[in-house]
Amino acid sequence: MGRDGRGPWHTDTAAVLTDFAANQAMGIDPVVDYDHLSMVCLETGQKAPAAGWIKQLEIRDGETWARIEWNAAASTAIQAKEWRYLSPVFDFDASGRVVRLVAVGLTNQPNLFLRALNTMETSVDLLKQLIELLGLDPAADTATAINSVKALKSASTDTQTAMNSLRQAIGAAADADLKTVANSIMTSFAPRAEYERVANSLQQLQAGTAAAEVDKALDEAIAAGKIAPASRGFYQAMCSTDMKAFKDFVKSAPVVVQPGTETTTRAANSKHDNQQAGDNPLIANAKARAGTK
């Protein structure tokens, strides 16, 4: 337990010694610095000179012992009683289990320090990351970041409350996801069979409207003498496929039958219309789309 009330912690000796041995195998010794400056130097810009290096680590009766190789400056300062205590920096898990010795600091205010609690100042690096994740102005302060997090939490709570109410209203399971809820709503308020019936009715109505439009266009073309009555079937398929092309053809076609008269035979009219249609590119294109030859 630290002097300031932090803790308690318990050392996992196997984990600590394994981590120390792994670092030593790579030629890395834990640093002993002054007042934990090496933990904050990147944020503060201060120099963080080493006082020494931990060369050996062992556990004696549950206590952690270390052999430190001091440099000349630190040895002199310690002999002069400028520095008196040691303060370890270690990593631990949620249960308080210490798993790694990170560093040790010479200090005159001893305590058991954690990596994120070595200083009373806010961790600048973590704050910058939080501000970036929240999409805030890079110059935003801690209070702004905290308020933004609170707002997100509130919005999330409101959304969850609304989802719970919706689940209850439609009789869905308490843990039903959004897709399940949506499908349940469709089933409850728009039965599939009813939906398909309405869709089919609409399709039939649209088909009937299209057929009526084709008949109207053909009737008008015959009444205007642009096509012979005998050729109605010939033009019907093309008219159904491309109404615009048919109307363009009728607009530019000459009168082949005087309205109200019977001057040609049915066969002659049909032959004339077929020839006329074959010469017209609009109708030729429509015939191609309709599969008519």
Convert the pLDDT of each residue in 149-178 to its tens digit. Answer: 888 877 777 777 777 887 787 777 888 787
Tally of domains in the chain:
3
Q: Is residue 198 in some structural domain?
A: no
Same-domain check for residues 45 and 136: no
pLDDT range class, residue 182, cuts 50, 70, 90: confident
Q: Which of 95, 120, 145 is the last residue of a domain?
A: 120
Tokens of 91: 């990593």
Same-domain check for residues 111 and 132: no
Q: Is residue 47 in some structural domain?
A: yes
Count CB atoms within 10 A of the CB of residue 10.
12
Q: Is residue 194 in some structural domain?
A: no
Q: Is 185's pLDDT higher than 70?
A: no
pLDDT range class, residue 73, cuts 50, 70, 90: very high
Q: Is residue 144 in some structural domain?
A: yes
Q: Is 38's pLDDT higher than 50?
A: yes
Q: Is residue 49 in some structural domain?
A: yes
Same-domain check for residues 133 and 113: no
**Residues 45-50: contacts with CB under 8 Å, at least 24 apart:** 49/73
Q: Is 131's pLDDT higher than 60?
A: yes
Could you tell me where the DSSP H helices lie in the chain? Answer: 13-25, 41-44, 72-79, 124-134, 142-170, 178-189, 192-223, 232-241, 243-252, 266-279, 281-290
Domain of 89 in residue numbering reads as 10-120
pLDDT range class, residue 93, cuts 50, 70, 90: confident
The chain-wide mean pLDDT, for the chain, equals: 76
Q: Which of 189, 221, 242 is the last residue of a domain?
A: 189
Same-domain check for residues 172 and 72: no
Most confident by average pLDDT, 179-193, 228-242, 257-271: 228-242
What integer pLDDT is reported at residue 259 of this predicted model? 67
Q: Are 51 and 35 in contact (CB under 8 A)?
A: no
Q: Is residue 4 in some structural domain?
A: no
Q: Which of 120, 135, 157 is the last residue of a domain?
A: 120
Same-domain check for residues 76 and 110: yes
Of the candidates 163, 206, 196, the one whose C-alpha atom is nearest the C-alpha of residue 182 is 163
Q: Is residue 1 in some structural domain?
A: no
What integer pLDDT is reported at residue 244 of this predicted model? 87
Q: Is residue 261 in some structural domain?
A: yes
